[in-house]
Amino acid sequence: MITKILIVDDSATQRQVLREMLAQDPEFEVVGEAADGLEALELCHRLQPDLVTMDIQMPRMNGYEAIRRIMSETPRPVVVLTSSFSDRMLGISFKALDSGALMVLGKPASLSMPQEEKGRLLGQLKAMAGVKVVGRRWNRLDRPAAHREPIKASPRAGRSPVELICLGASTGGPPAVQGILQGLSPESTPPIALVQHINLGFVDSLARWLSETTGFMVEPAKMGCRLQPGKVILAPEKRHLTVLKGGMVRLIDADLVDGHRPSVTALFRSAAVYGSSAVGVLLTGMGRDGAQGLLEMKNAGAWTIAQNRETSVVYGMPGEAVALGGANEVLPLGSIANRITKMCASGKEAHNNGK
């Protein structure tokens, strides 16, 4: 199957490098090129590409606005290509994800780049081209319009106080995690452990971006660190993040789990030791990582939540969890923080009443 690609970049040289690289793979066809966001939007309507590679800093219409317009008017997978992994560009990258891009990758510097790197980039573009994206409407506050549903009384009434919240996400995850953290209060939230599938070199900047935009302290995990209320421990690169009863964090150099390291299932599986005092949340993402782990948390007595199809960028991981029976609840993204808040409050109330 041929993947039709639209290249968007104001640099003719960069467009040529990417075009020639894509031409080396018979499964790709470059159907158009654009030098700015306005041209990109027009070509998306006219050419209906399967995938758009997007630059950010362009004349007339920048990449952020172009992504928002594309996702609102003619939704399709958008991958941002950046030429720098400096702190400034990484901040730009996360803003692009918030605008609706699926992924941020490094631009190919030249056709002479190592074959392994070239193959990895082409493989990631193929994977993103197959993602069924959900259109996004933007409100006046420059945020995606939230899909909110009323939350009934907490199903955790009478259960143990919440001691740990585990979050797992992949494609589309950074803005989803950001939205949940923005809906929680650091002063009244138990420790949070997070696994987010993300490209190498992005973990530290993801932690900084979430810290700066949510009010939570978000830090990549280090051996020997402990879980703390109001703090988010983020899985580091190439190591599984696991937790021990009592708040200790353990990093493991082990085989891939569900195709990933760090793996959401590895975190969820370890969190099962917390039983009914844990909450597991599986968010948007490709594949099945986290599904089996969420089921194991549920079987151990934890309360488990899967993001619903309508608000997921990719309904892979949460969909697999639902199919396995691993989710106590399936909720829209805009309702998850509210549910967590109510569960934490009801657990504290039950604990205080029992004294």
On the question of a cis peptide bond just before residue 262, with omega within 30 degrees of 0, the verdict is yes
Kindly report the CATH number assigned to the domain that includes residue 54: 3.40.50.2300
Q: Could you tell me where the DSSP H helices lie in 191-253?
A: 203-214
Summarize pLDDT for 204-254 with one digit per residue, the tens: 888 998 998 899 999 999 988 999 999 999 999 999 999 999 999 999 999
Q: Is 256 part of any domain?
A: yes
Q: Is 113 part of any domain?
A: yes
| From 47-51, 61-65, 301-305, 345-349, the region with the lowest mean pLDDT | 345-349
The C-alpha torsion from 218 through 270 and 329 to 286, rounded to 10°, is: 70
How many structural domains are present in the chain? 2
Tokens read off for 71: 């996702």
Alpha-carbon dihedral sign for residues 38, 91, 99, 268: positive
Q: Is 197 a catalytic residue?
A: yes
Alpha-carbon dihedral sign for residues 103, 46, 147, 159: negative
Question: Which residue segment(s) compose the domain that 57 sits in?
Answer: 3-129
Mean pLDDT of 149-160: 53
Note whether 75 and 179 are same-domain residues. Answer: no
Summarize pLDDT for 62-72 with one digit per residue, the tens: 999 999 999 99
Q: Is 28 part of any domain?
A: yes
How many alpha carbons fall within 13 Å on the CB side of residue 111?
11
Tokens read off for 230: 């109001």
Kindly report the CATH number assigned to the domain that includes residue 306: 3.40.50.180
Q: Is 170 a catalytic residue?
A: yes
DSSP secondary structure code for residue 122 in this structure: H
Q: pTM for this one? A: 0.79
Note whether 102 and 177 are same-domain residues. Answer: no
Alpha-carbon dihedral sign for residues 196, 199, 203, 208: negative
Summarize pLDDT for 156-209 with one digit per residue, the tens: 455 689 999 999 999 889 989 999 999 999 999 999 999 999 887 789 888 998
Note whether 221 and 291 are same-domain residues. Answer: yes
DSSP 96-121: HHHHT-SEEEEPP--TTS-HHHHHHH
Q: Of 93, 99, 154, 170, which is the active-site residue?
A: 170
Q: Of 99, 240, 289, 346, which is the active-site residue?
A: 289
Q: Of 197, 240, 258, 312, which is the active-site residue?
A: 197
Mean pLDDT of 19-23: 94
Helix (H, G, I), strand (E, B) or coil at 29: strand
More confident residue, 124 or 191: 191
Alpha-carbon dihedral sign for residues 216, 218, 221, 224: negative
